[in-house]
Structure 1
Amino acid sequence: MSNNGTDLTTGFISSSVAVLLFGSNFVPLKKYDTGDGMFLQWVLCAAIWMIALAVNLILHCPKFWPFAMVGGCIWATGNIAVVPIIKTIGLGLGILIWGSFNALTGWASSRFGWFGMDAEEVSKPVLNYIGAGLSVVSAFIFLFIKSEIPSSTSSVDTTPLMTEHVINKIQDPCRDYSWVDKLSTLQQRIVGCSLAVISGILYGSTFVPIIYIKDHSKRNDSIYTGASQYDLDYVFAHFSGIFLTSTVYFFAYCIAMKNNPKLYPEAVLPGFLSGALWAIATCCWFIANHSLSAVVSFPIITAGPGFIAAMWGVFKFKEIQGLQNYLLMIFAFCIILTGALCTAYSKI
Structure 2
Amino acid sequence: MINPQAAGYIGAALATVFFGSNYIPVKNYPTGNGFAFAWVMSIGTFCTGFIAMAISGKFIFIPWGLLGGSLWAIGNFCVIPIVKTIGLGLGMLLWGCTSLITGFFSGKFGWFGLEKQAVEHTGLNWGGFACIVVAIALFFFIKPTLKDKGPKSEYDYSPIVEDMSINYHRNNRQAEPVEEPMFFERMPAPYKYLVGLTLAVVSGVLYGVNMVPMQLWKQNNPDANSLEFVFCHFSGIFLFNTLVFILYSMFDRPPQIYPQTILPSYLSGVLWGIAQVGLMVATQNLGYTVGFPIGSSGPLIVSSLWSVLLFKEIQGKKNLIFLGASFLFLITGIVLITLSNIKSL
TM-score (norm. length: structure 2): 0.82
Measure how far apart 1:85 and its partner are. Answer: 6.2
State the Cα distance separating 1:59 from its structure 2 match: 2.3
Residues 315, 95 of structure 1: CA spacing in aligned structure 2 closer, same or farther, 3 A cutoff? farther
Question: 1:62 is paired with a residue of what secondary structure?
Answer: coil
3-state DSSP class of the match of 2:228? helix
Question: In 2 relative to 1, CA 47–14 (structure 1 residues): closer, same or farther, beyond 3 Å?
Answer: same
The answer (yes or no) to whether the contact 2:308–2:314 under 8 Å persists in 1 is yes
Which residue does 2:75 correspond to in 1?
A: 78
Q: Is the 8 A contact 1:96 1:305 kept in 2?
A: no
Equivalent residue letter for 2:276: T
Residue in structure 2 matching 1:231, options 226, 238, 241? 226
Query: Runs of 5+ in structure 1 lacking a partner?
Result: 161-169, 218-225
Match of 1:49 in 2: 46
Question: Is 1:314 equivalent to 2:292 in the alignment?
Answer: no
Query: What letter corresponds to residue 206 of structure 1 in structure 2?
Result: N
Q: Distance in 2 between matches of 1:192 and 1:324?
A: 27
Match of 2:209 among 205, 208, 218: 205
Say if 1:159 and 1:35 are closer, same or farther in 2 by CA, change over 3 A. closer
Cα distance in 2 between the residues matched to 1:253 and 1:174: 23
With over 3 angstroms needed to count, the CA separation of the structure-2 counterparts of 1:314 and 1:193, relative to structure 1, is farther
Q: Which amino acid aligns with 1:310?
A: S
Q: Is the 8 A contact 1:127 1:342 kept in 2?
A: yes
What are structure 2's unaligned runs of at least 5 residues?
159-171
Q: Is the 8 A contact 2:218 2:284 kept in 1?
A: no
Please give the alpha-carbon distance, in whole angstroms, between the structure 2 residues aligned to 1:26 and 1:250: 20
RMSD: 3.3
* Letter of the structure 2 residue corresponding to residue 306 of structure 1: L
User: Residue 12 of structure 1: which of 4, 9, 12 is its match?
Assistant: 9
Change (3 A) 1:332 1:120: same
Corresponding residue for 1:113? 110
Residue 124 of structure 1, aligned match among 107, 121, 139: 121
Q: Does 1:297 align with 2:291?
A: yes
Larger CA deviation: 61-70 vs 310-319: 310-319
1-structure distance, mates of 2:70, 2:279: 18
CA distance in 2: counterparts of 1:321 and 1:93, whole angstroms: 19
User: Aligned partners of 1:31, 1:194: CA distance in 2, in Å?
Assistant: 29
8 Å contact 2:56–2:225 — kept in the other structure?
no
The code of the aligned residue for 1:331 comes to A
Report the counterpart of residue 236 of structure 2 in structure 1: 241
Aligned residues: 323
What letter matches 1:74 in structure 2? L
- Number of the residue aligned with 2:166: none
Shift, 1:192, TM fit: 7.5
Which residue of structure 2 lines up, in the alignment, with residue 344 of structure 1? Answer: 338
Q: Which residue of 2 aligns with 1:223?
A: none
Query: Distance between the aligned counterparts of 2:243 and 2:100, measured in 1?
Result: 28
The alpha-carbon deviation at position 106 of structure 1 amounts to: 1.3
**Residues 234-286 of structure 1, C-alpha deviations (whole Å, 9 max, x = no match):** 101100000011111112222331x3211111110000110000111111222
Cα separation, partners in 2 of 1:316 and 1:94, compared to 1, 3 Å: farther
Question: The residue matched to 1:333 in structure 2 has which SS?
Answer: helix
The C-alpha deviation readout for 1:70-129, integer Å capped at 9, x for no partner, is 110011111124456678856x98767644433222111111111111111111111111
Q: Percent identity?
A: 35
Q: Following the alignment from structure 1 to structure 2, what is the Cα–Cα distance between the partners of residues 326 and 94? A: 21
1:92-103 equivalences in 2 (<5 Å): 98-103=95-100
Q: Distance in 1 between matches of 2:228 and 2:105?
A: 24
